[in-house]
């Protein structure tokens, strides 16, 4: 996608020394790239939504009727919160290196603080925070750019997009061992076992 100022200006950090609050930086071949402060802001917004979905009581999960484009059926039932959480995790798994995904899992999915992550992964504080920035930046970009259903903007994900068919964990061949756990909220503790 082509990033423009209207995509970035509301997300940029006003005190950012790289983009000075515009959210864009000039890259190779005169191409405008999103500043890292924007990518981290996108990640933080998506992560906050993930935590919100994960901590809601199960009975509060909203089942929504979505219009779909298939000929046989014009509507489909979907659980948006569960789909969103699955997308959030699966994009992390597909995008990040093994090391970064491990950190993503401990710190962002399971909520371990830096001390616990450092002990568990055998790394120092500097390595931990560098990896946190890297994860936020890589996933911030993916959450916005992934097609056809980007996670960000969140409003469009939850209220705007019309999926041809809801994403099913069973359709995603790159995470076969996570399939059974994704059907229930119990997948979060389950992730620790595969670490």
Residues that bind Zn ion (CB under 5 A): 16, 18-19, 35, 37
Nearer to Zn ion, 40 or 47 (CB): 40
Q: How far is the CB of 84 from Zn ion (least distance, A)?
A: 27
Neighbours of 17 (CB within 10 A): 7
The CB-of-12 to Zn ion minimum distance in angstroms stands at 5
Q: Is the dihedral of CA 168, 171, 173, 177 positive or negative?
A: positive
Least spacing, CB of residue 37 vs Zn ion, in Å? 3
Q: How many Å apart are CA 17 and CA 78, to the nearest integer?
A: 43
In the bound state with Zn ion, the residue whose beta carbon lies nearer, of 37 and 117, is: 37
- Please identify, using beta-carbon distances, which residue of 8 and 150 lies nearer to Zn ion: 8
Q: Quick check: 143 and 46 in contact, CB under 8 A?
A: yes
Q: Are 122 and 153 in contact (CB under 8 A)?
A: no
Nearer to Zn ion, 41 or 135 (CB): 41
Strand 63-67 to strand 75-79: parallel, antiparallel, or no bridges (unpaired)? Answer: antiparallel
Distance of closest approach, residue 152 Cβ to Zn ion, in angstroms: 17
């Amino acid at each position: 996608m082509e990033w423009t100022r209207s995509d970035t200006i509301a997300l940029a950090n006003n005190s950012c020394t790289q983009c000075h609050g515009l959210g864009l930086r000039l890259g190779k071949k005169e191409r405008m790239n999103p500043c890292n402060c924007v990518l981290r802001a996108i990640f933080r917004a998506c992560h906050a939504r993930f935590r919100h979905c994960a901590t809601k009581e199960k009975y509060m999960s909203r089942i929504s009727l979505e219009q779909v484009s298939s000929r046989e059926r014009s509507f489909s039932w979907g659980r948006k919160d569960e789909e969103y959480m699955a997308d959030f995790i699966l994009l992390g798994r597909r995008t990040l290196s093994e090391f970064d995904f491990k950190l993503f899992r401990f710190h962002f999915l399971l909520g371990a603080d830096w001390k616990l992550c450092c002990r568990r992964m055998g790394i120092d504080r500097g390595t931990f925070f560098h990896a946190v920035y890297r994860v936020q930046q890589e996933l911030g970009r993916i959450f916005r750019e992934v097609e056809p259903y980007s996670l960000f903007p969140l409003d469009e994900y939850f209220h705007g997009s019309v999926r041809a068919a809801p994403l099913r964990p069973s359709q995603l061949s790159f995470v076969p061992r996570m399939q059974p756990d994704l059907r229930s909220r119990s997948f979060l503790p389950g992730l620790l076992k595969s670490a």
